[in-house]
Structure 1
Amino acid sequence: MAAANYLRSEDQFLCSLCLDVLTDPVTTSCGHNFCKTCITEHWNTNDRFLCPLCKEAFTTRPDLRVNTLLSEMVSQFRQSAQQDASSSSSEQQVSKPREVPCDVCAGTKLKALKSCLVCLVSYCETHLEPHLTASGLKRHQLIDPVENLDSRMCTKHDKPLKLFCKTDQTCICMLCPVLDHKTHEFVPLKEEYEGQKAKLGKTEAEIQQMIQKRRLKIEEIKRSADLKKQERAEKQAQAFIRELEQEISELMKRRTEVEQLSRFEDHLHLLQSVQTLNTNQPPATRDWTEVSVPPPSYEGTVRRAVAQLEEDLSKEMKKLIKVELRRVQQFAVDVTLDPDTAHPKLILSDDGKQVNHGDVKRKKIPDNPERFSKCFSVLGEQSFSSGRFYFEVQVKGKTGWDLGVARESISRKERIIMSPANGYWTVLLRNGNEYKAPGNRLSLRSQPEKVGVFVNYEDGLVCFYDVDAAALIYSFTSCSFTEKLFLYFSPCPHDGGKNSAPLIISPVRAVD
């Protein structure tokens, strides 16, 4: 209990200059305490003799003597803290090989719990306590324990690396822009870290797509070789497959590296690792687009083989889409409809999860600027200006609907053509079986009963999925998003009761 009491009052034993426990404490005439060495060095480097805390000026340099009473209290505090550390060390884990040890522990090194980027020291649970309780130390930045903290210092100026030079692609300290990088472009580490995180996410998606294409290519080559039934063709196919499998292995290794790197929360560690591994670019691979094993020219055999290949590829693609769906479903958001945007003839459920079209305009509905006046449409209450999000909508029993996202500045008082140029990224159904995207008529194997919509704001990607069939309906790529995006819904006119079923925002459940 004594140690706990000391820790709770530790602020009174800290020097405001070095933010550490006082050493040879001295007291100025204004009543403030400092380490004797700290205040001496402070006055040695200044023309005026001011108190660093209250700024009281002294006409002559004060003759400072060690405060005996305070010195004894500090000594008792240190002894109590050491005893507390000794009694608790047995309950903590001793540092093992490949684990970061505590830099403060004397003798047996305990496992570090955190590393301080200000002190450049790693601490076990006991020695970390002052950073969690002392007001001066609470401002220090703590991260998961890392080794080689000295590498976080500028080798030229001995200052912490806090900036990133975009010109030289290297981490620099606060003095570097003044002395060595005067004409260079530099940004805070955090800003460059966030940019690199986004690039890593895009690279990971590209690598996954490359892996999928090579797996499909292997199946295509195997099928062609089976049809050929010639030794030369089989050897050629085996050589291609070995090369493809090697590329897949390299791609999977790179994907793992990128995935692990993207989890780093330490800004400096991620940036230094990106420069070392060069993971923003997928590894060099062969273009397999035109590579094939020529099949025999037997028309009937070829027709049957092609049909079998299409079936196999369809099954494989369905598996891949299921994996992709499970991944994007992790970004599910809770969506509700915004009644202030709904056309007066639309009927919204009390919980904001369903909408359908009615015959009569609702009474006493204000014609506010956000409300649709010509189109039977409604927006979601939530808006998004970054990141990734996903939602699902039940469309079962409907002969017409529109779904997607729209930018904030769309026109809501007139009828317009829905297209990316006008701020809409949507897919629609007409006449019960005509599926369309802007400028495209879609051919679907089955009629979706539940549609999933995924958006990656930074990558400019909008994807629509048939959730139950685990099939991709359509994708908008290379979109340029510069405004807030809102979720867009239109149940379309009820068509004499044929299209009276509502659109229902459904809770997201992982596909089987």
Structure 2
Amino acid sequence: MSNSIDQLSFSDMASACSILYEEQVLCSICLSEFKEPVSTPCGHNFCKGCITQYWNSQDSRPVQCPLCKKKLGNKPKLQVNSEFRDVVEHFNHTRVKSGPKIVAQPGEVPCDICTEPKLKAHKTCLVCLASYCEPHLESHQNLKKHKLIDPVSNLEDRVCKKHDKMLELFCRTDQQCVCMMCLNDDHSGHEAVPLERAFKDRRGMYENVTSEMKKTENSKSQSVKKLKDSVQKSRKISVNDTGQIAEILSALVLSLQKKQNELVRAIEQKQKESEKQTEGRITLLEQHLSDLRKRRSEIEQLIKSEDYLYLLQNCPPNLTSPNTPLLDPFTEQHTYAGLVKQSVGQIKKSINNEIDMLIQKISSPDCCGAENMRPSTPNVWRPLKDKLMMIQQCNAVDVTLNSYSAHTHFTVSADGKTLSYRPREHFFDPLGWRFKHYYAVLGNEGFSSGQFYYEVDVYLNRSWTLGVVKESIRRDKLFPLTPEHGAWVFWGSLCPPNIRRIGVFVDYERGELSFYNTETRDLLHSIAGCCFTETKTGLQAFLYSVVGFSTVHRPKLYPFFSLSGLFDILTITPVECTSQDA
């Protein structure tokens, strides 16, 4: 019986020791079986080496128990608990090894209780200011009032450096974390709340901020997307524009080539018609020449006769040759290259100016788009509806004043362009070159064919007279300024007021004379049906026909200028080729 009791007691002891082993046989520092277990004055057991090393690592901090944190004063003298050591050694053979332990890796928070190797911390106690692994945390669970959080490092940052107390409050006045002692010191009277509440408030604020940031991000993302889409669209438009510009300019080149071919064909056709007409005239003239030679031979035979009666009775009829109009071979010889060069030069200048302006607008940083850009010279691409512009481009001539023909009350400038009225006579004119009864002057240049145009600035006076006269006009006689006397003129008194510049256009071949207001482009007056040519009659006609000359004479026309107002001035100005819309 005694043996059974002993056995039972031993079994119970083993069971009890087994329970003791599972909960307390492991050193709470190294988590291994006790080696030379010693007991602290507070009743906790540790390996002698573990507790000694732990206290040595605390430097100048007060000696305390690693488990209950009870301050022990000076380091106590430790002695090995032999009975507890025997229990540990007894069950060293019977304990079951635990599973693999998780060692803290670089960057992870280690357990402050473990010796090397330190295990990974599972929780951090804000009261103890220590981090615990899972095994060490089991013995800490009894401290219910201790606050546990997920493991964190740098626990010293959570302690008030001035009072060595936990930072448990948040001062809203100074926006910083404080301890309880701070409220009685530097933060006295300040508004303070628990860290948890301040945390919730701050996190709520951050959530609102992040919500607004998300909205801003979405807005900016949309803006970025729109800008990228705009760039793509702009690139497509640019490619399309360059393609269309190339097509437009290519079409312009083709159009110019087409017009070139048409112009060449027109000139060639004109030349063919002229040659055909000339050949017909040559044939007619050769026939008339043959008849003329035959009649001349007959007349020469009569001249050689000494018989009075025979000469008088055999006078051939039609002594004068038929009035065959002869074409002066140089009269209608037109050169078109100059006109084309002048017209193309104007168009080229307009195109260059327009494109240069477009380039400047495109390169400008404040360019608002093609819809706000308008061509500065839209008339360049339209047909020339302005007849005066065509006249200015093609028929402008340089006219100067003939000072030798000026009335003695006139003064002509050195460049021959300005005429002014002088109230007293200063010149004696024995040759009769000057006008005596008209306050007038002629131009130096005379014209007997084609078309010519010039402009005169009349300086807003109305006492002027402009036009053309024949070269045969008598300057020393008083005569009416009418076509019958070889004068075609227009008086300023017939014009509307405030006219400054007058354009004079003469078409010799068509017998037309026109006067324009160059500022408004209006036709002021026109004289049609003018007969500028003269027909020889009588003996002159006979002699002209005998030698084969045309009896039609083409006298030169000279520009005519007249002033009648005191101190009036007029000036011949350069012709400016601009249209009304320019």
Q: Please give the range of the TM-score, normalised by the shorter of the 2 chains.
A: 0.3 to 0.5
TM-score, structure 2 normalization: 0.32
Query: Highest Rg: 1 or 2?
Result: 2
